[in-house]
Chains A and B, each alone.
Chain A
């Protein structure tokens, strides 16, 4: 059986599992439940707020990203440009709860901003809970992501175009209107929809910073129905509603066209003559500094407060170590499974790209974590298992399975371009030499792909370790990892202990990411 067949079968199994998941949801919820939901005034507010915060988050993230990406594209010799681009990948790797701690440490009631305000003799105190905090955190996560999504747009412009613009004497404004705006019209809608979906599904941020029923999203409402009200039918109905919304969004994303480029395609060709004037340089410098500063501040606060917390706060070292152990034991298997699933699926997605049904199955499997909404998948899993097995006993398996599915989009996204490149470049040579199956993998694919495989596995493991969704649903006193511990500490406003936990979590994720990326990917 070829790799792509294995990939197709795995994809079909995942789709079947998701469908079974929904069957469980459906058997729990009835149409009457759904209708009742829509009558519920509280729920209507939740839905409106979900869309409102996602729209605002995506608009702010994209706006900031366009300004910063344009500046970065124009100043191709900007000092530390490469470092800045790598820095933009950081929020994708930082566990969300740790980053949220950083945001609270800067913008919270007793954070850096409040200190500054006090130093200036003002008695104004920032209030972060509610829409403001949600927006700050979402922009923190998504603006750097959007910068990386948009920057490749500029890389598609041939150097000749910039020479041409210079020859024709186009001003910076004219270049924006005539060259960059049409470019953004191709790239920005897909990036907008992508960020919108991430914010629409955002769980950790809203749960932590929402601060109550006034600022709740669907994803959090599902969680509350399942965990606190233990109202499984209501949770199921909400999850269905959420999934319908996601399907519509994904369809829009598909229609928005343009593949999103998650690769490292950030190399730029050609000198921008319009960026060479002192005024342009100053403006670009300002745009880059503001964007990077916005992202760097919470990271700095997280680090500084974290070191303080680890050294001086009274920590429960045993609890911290135990939680760290649970984090590793649940996170790394999730990442490994997501990679083992992602590689054949990526291969199938390239090989079978001409066959429509296969493309759909593979596409759904690869994006299941997004289309189905994490909480909906978890809810289905719980509903399916409820009453049959002891939920606390299978909880670790539930967390690993859910996180593997949630991180599958990462591994497929990273591996697909690399696998496709290998296919395009070496298929004929391999066929000519009679290299196939395991031999081909050993001799050709593994040496060429191990960097991508290492990156995929590292990313997926770190993401699983930092995830709050699955552990919030399945976790308990007995099963607590660092993210759950940290969430509890932030929720109880024990910021001293939280600072140490946040830094420990971040350090562990980065360590695992780097370890796997190097260990599997080999030295460059």
Chain B
């Protein structure tokens, strides 16, 4: 432990139905961490707690040394991307991205230029006027990624954002996330069901089981672990 981690989660407690959760995790600046584990283990809850959508019973969340445990969602240095419904269906792609600049959508010419730049970064240059209904599932998630670019928060939380996409598209989106992470110096937490996704872009992976991070290390080590919970999750006995 030579230097302090970028994201520090200590004793973060929450209960949902019968599951008593308590998370500890330390993530370094600029890295991409995969979060895997059986469904119902608390992966999404962990992200919701960091994003500020759920209130922990105890424990703390620090980003870059600052305690954000009790900040409202908008004031956290965090952008969350959900599996679906990241866009408002009645607003154009440009407006959906522009919300990241001004939540009242009073956008200056400069803001508009930023929106166009962000859409270009995710490969959707010229898609400004499209409504979400006119976009494919992958394109919708790209728009949401463009908004996270424009919000410029150092921590990006992805909750199975590409689970609904086909394999080729999913690989493409993962590469996009990886490229944006490197370019912007973002720290990324990626919840996924698919160990291959973690293996593809996450240097380190946290394995969550029954409300706890039971293992955290290099992705190949975690996925190759002989621990029974991991083997059971991967379907090997």
Contact = CB atoms under 8 A, between A and B. Distances in A.
Interface of A: 158, 160-161, 163-171, 173-174, 177-179, 182, 271, 273
B75 interface: yes
Give the top 9 A-B pairs by smallest Cβ distance, nearest first. A169-B74, A160-B85, A170-B103, A158-B85, A166-B73, A168-B103, A182-B90, A174-B104, A167-B73
Interface stretch (B10-18, B76-84, B117-125, B227-235): B76-84
B82 to A, nearest CB: 5
B104 A179 contact: no
A178 B85 CA distance: 15
A122 B162 CA distance: 69
Contact of A179 (B72, B78, B88): B88
B5 interface: no
Contacts, number: 63
B79 A167 contact: yes
A162 to B, nearest CB: 9
A174 B85 contact: no
A163 B88 contact: no
B37 interface: no
A167 B90 contact: no
11 contacts: A160-B85, A161-B85, A163-B82, A164-B86, A167-B78, A168-B151, A170-B103, A174-B103, A178-B99, A271-B53, A273-B72
Interface in B70-113: 72-75, 78-80, 82, 84-86, 88, 90-91, 99-100, 103-105
Contact of A167 (B80, B85, B88): B80
Contact of A166 (B72, B90, B91, B105): B72
B103 A169 contact: yes
Chain B interface mostly: loop
Contacts of A271: 53
B90 A160 contact: no
Given A161-B85, A166-B52, 5 more contacts: A163-B51, A163-B80, A169-B74, A169-B103, A178-B91
Nearest to B53: A163
Nearest to B48: A163
B74 A168 contact: yes
A173 B103 CA distance: 10
Interface residues of B, number: 23
A488 to B, nearest CB: 53
Interface of B: 51-53, 72-75, 78-80, 82, 84-86, 88, 90-91, 99-100, 103-105, 151
Contacts of A173: 104
A181 to B, nearest CB: 10
B82 A178 contact: no
Contact of A158 (B79, B84, B151): B84
Given A158-B84, A178-B105, A169 B100 contact: no
Contact of A171 (B53, B75, B91, B103): B103
Contacts of B103: 165, 168-171, 174, 178
Contacts of A182: 90
Contacts of A165: 103
Contacts of B84: 158, 160
B74 A166 contact: yes
Nearest to A164: B86
A178 B98 CA distance: 12
Nearest to B87: A164
B154 to A, nearest CB: 15
B44 to A, nearest CB: 12
A158 B53 CA distance: 14
B6 to A, nearest CB: 20
A289 B75 CA distance: 33
B71 to A, nearest CB: 11
A486 to B, nearest CB: 48
Interface-central residue, A169, A173, A273, by most chain B CB under 10 Å: A169
Contacts of A166: 52-53, 72-74
A158 B52 CA distance: 17
A108 B92 CA distance: 53
A170 B91 CA distance: 15
A72 B78 CA distance: 30
A276 B119 CA distance: 34
A327 B79 CA distance: 63
Nearest to A159: B85
Nearest to A185: B90
Nearest to A173: B104
B104 A178 contact: yes
Contact of B51 (A161, A167, A168, A178): A167
Nearest to A156: B89
